Structure 1
Amino acid sequence: MLRSFPGFLSQNRFRWRRIRYEGVLGTALELHFLAEPQAAREAERRALAEIERLEGLYSRYRPDSELNRWQEGLTEAVSPDLAELLREAERWQEHTAGAFNPGVEAVQRLYRQNPDPPEEQREALLKALGAPLWTWKGETPHKRTPLELNFNALAKGRIADLACAAAMGVEGVQGACVNLGGDLSHRGPQGMPVAITSPFSSADNAPALAQIRIRNQGVATSGHTQRGPHLFDPRRAQPVQGVAQATVVAGDAATADVLATVFCVLDPQESLRLAEQLGVAGLIVSRSGALHSNPQFQALEEAL
């Protein structure tokens, strides 16, 4: 989980303004704007409108969302936003050798029904996860799998990025930060401190595990703390075992979002190697409590 703490600027009329909402996309939303009051209000309006628009496209919980209608075969042509999400998902599935897979929710469902499922069920599910989930005919995607697909590990970060960009389009806004349930997108010249909480403490006022300073970056944390065991390895159709939490800092929140999930699936050393390849910062917390981070992350850390 991430906590952001924007400071106040006393040298001019601009200061950080914080707005918090509950129940947005099933989680908490924090908006931070470095702006005068009128510009901040317009930035808030545009950010909320963009979040609502994208929820109508990507939500798995709204029966009328474009994603659900496409999955049910109720529509053929898709919007550019949904097409881009699908193409990004394909790229990440390939780049992570299957550690990211939009069909992984089926593994979670299997283990909810039976904590020790028969091997033949796991093998059948692995075969389905390894088959093409959709194919393209020109610019039109066609779903090929009976599995239900969920893109939350990518879509939530993308929503934060686009909402932040919408706010920054308001004249008079000098900085913006959108924190959507721990997926955080920041834009602006002034850096922002972000605290990373420990996966082993549920208290809101618990000491931070680490504090970093970001600027024009995205941050995401994934793990077992906030929602309990919910992460599964789609390459093995088994629950994730070794990692308690992963935090990623990247150039955008969508990248940080998907990699935070992937880094919970991979071995910590595999994650750090991938982080180096992609030029992102990573902090992985093992179930044993051991911390694993790369130089990019260490360069962002501040004293607590």
Structure 2
Amino acid sequence: MGASASMTLVHPDRAHARAMIVRCVAEIERLESVFSLYRPDSALSRLNLTGALDNPPNELVELLAFGLSLAQASHGAFDPTVQPLLRLYLEHFSAAGASPAGPSAQAIAEARQRVGFADVDVDANRIRLGRRGAAITLNGVAQGFVTDRVADLLLANGFGNVLIDLGEGRALGHRPDGGAWRAAVANPADPSRTLFDLQLGNAHGLRPALATSGGYGTRFGPDPLVHHLLNPGTGRSANHYASVSVTAPRATLADGLSTTLSIMPPAHRDTLLARYPSARAWFVDSAGRVSGPDHARTART
């Protein structure tokens, strides 16, 4: 789904570990056939094309239901039906001589008429998009979901020491030297540099999963303030923070919350986080200052 991927497996049987990597890659490819917007034959692409999908894959039902619950909890800051707006921006910036400010107010208003999570019906037998021209994206949670599925597969097959990065991070156990796995959070001003890092793992006191969202990840044009983190209520990019990082027991939740917290007004973030007490969030402002559960500090390189 457009992200670089890596897995580190610690196991005494190299042949078994290699075989499991092959199984994990096959599972990733299977889930891409469900969630990918780049594959015209994926379940999600077929849903968007026709507005309805009978007998949807269980994974699509599960993740869309989670996305809709997060939309309700965030009062629409997270909205799986934001795809018409994303499509508008992609089409705008694909045209020659496109305004660097983005689409016109009229074009945004028209696209927003096709956005609205409350009009989506989902159950095990059928998914239906209630608005004409509506379309779904699960890019704000799908990488975390795939990460969790791979972690579950490895756990079920005897792998207790693993570090997974499939766009979002998930760790089990520890490194070969017995130390905790560590994950770096990039400096939004220079993503080649580390802003801070966290210990990951499923042992007591560690954080199993980490997700980071920031506008620097996907910019549409030359203006760094015009990017993929679109507020469904305004149709414009949200720029409350340079980045948001979230840890949680599972990568699906961390992924969804990092996206949501990037978009919703800062005054509402504590109310949302109170609904998910197992999650922790770190916020990076435009000056590189970090605020989070443990500290506030200045960016380092």
TM range (shorter): 0.7 to 0.9
Equivalence for 1:249:
247
Answer whether contact 2:71 2:117 (CA < 8 A) is retained: no
User: Which residue of the other structure, out of 213, 219, 224, is the alignment partner of 1:222?
Assistant: 213
Answer whether contact 2:244 2:282 (CA < 8 A) is retained: yes
The alpha carbon displacement at 1:221 in A equals: 0.6
Counterpart amino acid of 2:153?
A
Equivalence for 1:63:
40
The alpha carbon displacement at 1:75 in A equals: 4.4
Structure 1: where are the runs of 5+ without partners?
Answer: 1-24
The alpha carbon displacement at 1:174 in A equals: 2.3
What is the correspondence of 1:1-304 to structure 2 with a 5 Å cutoff? 25-36=1-12, 37-73=14-50, 75-111=53-89, 113=92, 115=101, 117-130=103-116, 132-136=118-122, 139-145=125-131, 146-171=133-158, 173-181=159-167, 183-188=168-173, 191-203=180-192, 206=193, 208-216=194-202, 217-228=208-219, 229-279=227-277, 280-295=279-294
1:119 and 1:275 mapped to 2: Cα distance? 32
Counterpart amino acid of 1:88?
F
TM-score, length-scaled by structure 1: 0.80
1:288 and 1:211 mapped to 2: Cα distance? 18
- Structure showing the higher strand proportion among its residues: 1
Structure 2: where are the runs of 5+ without partners?
Answer: 93-98, 203-207, 220-226
TM-score, length-scaled by structure 2: 0.80
**Number of aligned positions between the proteins:** 269
The alpha carbon displacement at 1:134 in A equals: 2.0
> Which range moves more in the overlay, 153-162 or 129-138?
129-138
1:130 and 1:267 mapped to 2: Cα distance? 19
Describe the superposition over 1:81-104 as per-residue Cα deviations: whole angstroms up to 9, x where unpaired: 111122111111111110111122
Describe the superposition over 1:24-68 as per-residue Cα deviations: whole angstroms up to 9, x where unpaired: x32211101121213321321221121111111111111111111
